[in-house]
Structure 1
Amino acid sequence: MTPTTLDQAPLSVLFIGGTGTISASSVRLAVDSGMDVSLLTRGRNSSGRAVPETVTTLLGDATDTVSLAAALDGRRFDVVVNFLSFTGDDAARMVEFFSGRARHYVHISTASLYGKPVLQSPIVESTPRHNRFTAYSRAKLDAEEVLVAAHIRDGFPVTIVRPSHTYDEASPPLPGGWTVIDRIARGDEMVVHGDGTSLWTLTHAEDFAQGLVGLLGNPRAIGETFHITSDDVYTWDQIYTIVADALGVAPRLVHAPTELISLAAPDWFWSELIAGDLSHSAVFDNSKIRRFVPGFTPTLTFHRAVLRMLAWRESHPEQTAADPETDAVLDRLVRGYHGAAAAFAAVAPGEKPAG
């Protein structure tokens, strides 16, 4: 973490986005580390995640330059951390606005932009970036390119951080979120993509925050790129089974090829992410973040964190109820699995397919 002394002012940090799955833990840790934290927000916090009382809240819209300028009112910061920049155009606006206003600008990107399927494991920061499956990843890649160009051309003081699948108590890391947990608790079947054995890394937001906050204000981090993940790796069958065990029920898992999930639910938010990211094994080498932040030591494994998640579910029933539309999609996937299984069972041995 960045220390403060009696003769050194606390590091002033602006978080753009600070109540989300990843950002809320980072805001809390920055405050606990003695930093002077401000949070730019549009004034809506429906997540249930508390903001520390010492945080200075600035009301404004990061997507509107006039609103952003009015909210900051001439303030300058040692560090700006932007969780809400998603495209090349977003990044270009941030470069123009924060040049001269921040000594260190941290862009939160995504590890989903690494090329899939990964040709060599574990993934390192120089692994090729060309995720052709998801529009979100391609847009984030455009943003990175703009920021790197600004650093090379003008010395813009950027650090790029790539989280992978990061979760907290209020955001289950399952395709379908709380609806999946509700289905498992009810004893309903769940379709798992592929055969359920691909390897997947889960990172609790508190562990991610260790790495991120440790980078803030570090001049050696300028111009560098880091992914920040835990070493908590599971198969997808294990992930669903851990949830079922915590609920005290037996998991009822069935498996479907990823391409059939995309056919059955082409407009479902998760279909593209499953095809372009979740269906591929993703294991990360975190040696770089550990070189820059020696204290980075993820401690929350999913089998422990899921107990906290279920406690959150019990205390926040209004925010964790099943979503009927998502439930209908998951029902459709289960019906599709059984329909496909019946069709295959109906093919006699040696029979040639029609056509």
Structure 2
Amino acid sequence: MKNILVLGGTGAMGAHISQILADRGDKVSVTTRSPRQSLPNIAYIQGNAKEDSFLAPLLACRWDAIVDFMVYSTRIFERRAPKFLAATDQYFFLSSARVYAESDCPISEESPRLLDSSDDARFLATDEYSLAKARQENVLRQSGSKNWTIIRPYITYSEQRLQLGILEKEGWLYRALKGRTIVFSEDIASKLTTLTYGLDVAAAMATLIGAPHALGETFQITRQDSVTWREVLSMYLDVLEKHLGKRPKVLLLDLDDFSHCKPAKYQIRYDRLFNRVFDSSKIAEFVDLQNFRSLEQGLTHCLKEFLEKPEFLAIDWRSEAVKDRFSGEFASLKEIIHWKQKIKYLLYRFLKK
């Protein structure tokens, strides 16, 4: 039995890995900002893992493994990394396959990263997600320790996270369930991508916990196959058509127009406009990728599960207003709870261009 700390372990992968570890008999402590009822072998610790005052007592303990799903600025990670490494036998750092540059060949762990190959000075001057993850990988490699394992998942989905390009479910599925048009990008729709069920990624990660061969190593964990975002959208629409009794409408905009709906310049330019095809042979030495759910099976399952009890996070009403302007539609003001958000919606729907 191992004693494992999971930081921020309630998302698409964290919830699954916590349960997998608990089921195999490990004692799992999970940090969460919201109160949760503890489960057999899973103790939820309420607090903000970004606050030193909350984290310090946890790192004063000795852990067999720490699995870290938190997102940090590079400056903060530089300060925290030595503490993580000192508190555990194996520190799992959740990086991202977004660190990779564009590639004409299937991407492996050794493929060039944007941080090392980009000549975009403005981009490199930022701590954008893909750059921050690569810099934080470097912090671990330069630490003088080898008790770390870097995990690079790509896009993961779950019963509560269903992405379409750069849009979370709040930016596309909410509209469909309200009878409005899904607004998406023609340019992104044509690109190849890889989506992997969070449960499968978590199961693969679990096999690496306590494994000597994983120390000081990097593993990308993705499905081997790639599809276009247009195909992903079609899978979603098939499920929604059966659920709603009609197929949701879709409006595909050119990139300039779509960028007004959802500003995410660097994520689009340096990831979603790349064709992403992965070589998963390294992790395949330790897990059978044939056991991963097929994309259609996994997305269908997760969307159906979500539709049983749909719960959305906060809706971006500025973004919704711009989408409605392009689609010629209107949201009912009854949907918008706060008066400031109502004003924002009306402003961007009718006045601002």
Residues 276-303 of structure 1, C-alpha deviation per residue, up to 9 Å, x if partnerless?
Answer: 2112110111100112x23454432232
Q: Which residue of 2 aligns with 1:18?
A: 9
Identity between Structure 1 and Structure 2 (%): 29
Q: Which residue of 1 aligns with 2:253?
A: 256
* Distance in 1 of aligned mates of 2:5 and 2:89: 11
- Aligned AA for 2:267? L
* Matched residue SS, 2:41: coil
- Aligned AA for 2:142? A
- Aligned AA for 2:150? I
The gaps in structure 1 that reach 5 residues or longer are: 1-9, 336-355
Residues 157-206 of structure 1, C-alpha deviation per residue, up to 9 Å, x if partnerless?
Answer: 11111110111011111214244124345262533341732111011101
Q: Which residue of 2 aligns with 1:127?
A: 111
On the 8 A contact 1:193/1:279 being kept in 2, the answer is no
Q: Which residue of 1 aligns with 2:169?
A: 177
* Segment of structure 1 superposing worse, 60-69 or 120-129: 60-69
* Segment of structure 1 superposing worse, 139-148 or 245-254: 245-254
Q: Which residue of 2 aligns with 1:75?
A: 61
Cα distance change of structure 1 residues 281 and 334 upon mapping to structure 2, 3 Å threshold:
farther
CA shift for structure 1 position 51: 6.5
Cα distance change of structure 1 residues 332 and 236 upon mapping to structure 2, 3 Å threshold:
farther
Matches within 5 A, 1:82-93: 82-93=68-79
The gaps in structure 2 that reach 5 residues or longer are: 329-353
- Aligned AA for 2:273? S
Cα distance change of structure 1 residues 51 and 173 upon mapping to structure 2, 3 Å threshold:
farther
Cα distance change of structure 1 residues 321 and 91 upon mapping to structure 2, 3 Å threshold:
closer
Q: Which residue of 1 aligns with 2:86?
A: 100
* Matched residue SS, 1:34: coil
Matches within 5 A, 1:141-220: 141-150=134-143, 154-174=144-164, 175-185=167-177, 186=179, 188-194=181-187, 196-220=189-213
Q: Which residue of 2 aligns with 1:280?
A: 274
Larger Rg: 1
Q: 2:31 aligns with which of 13, 28, 40?
A: 40
Q: 1:61 aligns with which of 48, 54, 79?
A: 48
May I ask how many residue pairs the two structures share in their alignment?
312
* Distance in 2 of aligned mates of 1:187 and 1:68: 44
* Matched residue SS, 1:58: strand
* Distance in 2 of aligned mates of 1:203 and 1:308: 13
* Distance in 2 of aligned mates of 1:302 and 1:51: 32
CA shift for structure 1 position 230: 1.4
- Aligned AA for 1:80? I
* Distance in 1 of aligned mates of 2:211 and 2:221: 16
- Aligned AA for 1:39? V
* Matched residue SS, 2:109: coil
Cα distance change of structure 1 residues 321 and 181 upon mapping to structure 2, 3 Å threshold:
farther
On the 8 A contact 2:170/2:315 being kept in 1, the answer is yes
- Aligned AA for 1:280? F
On the 8 A contact 2:154/2:194 being kept in 1, the answer is yes
Cα distance change of structure 1 residues 260 and 126 upon mapping to structure 2, 3 Å threshold:
farther
Q: So what's the TM-score if we normalise by structure 2? A: 0.79
- Aligned AA for 1:54? N
Residues 251-292 of structure 1, C-alpha deviation per residue, up to 9 Å, x if partnerless?
Answer: 644433434433x24xx354542232112110111100112x
Given the alignment of the two structures, is residue 299 of structure 1 paired with residue 286 of structure 2, yes or no? no
On the 8 A contact 1:198/1:236 being kept in 2, the answer is yes
* Distance in 2 of aligned mates of 1:212 and 1:35: 14
On the 8 A contact 2:8/2:30 being kept in 1, the answer is yes
Structure with more helix by fraction: 2
- Aligned AA for 1:164? Y
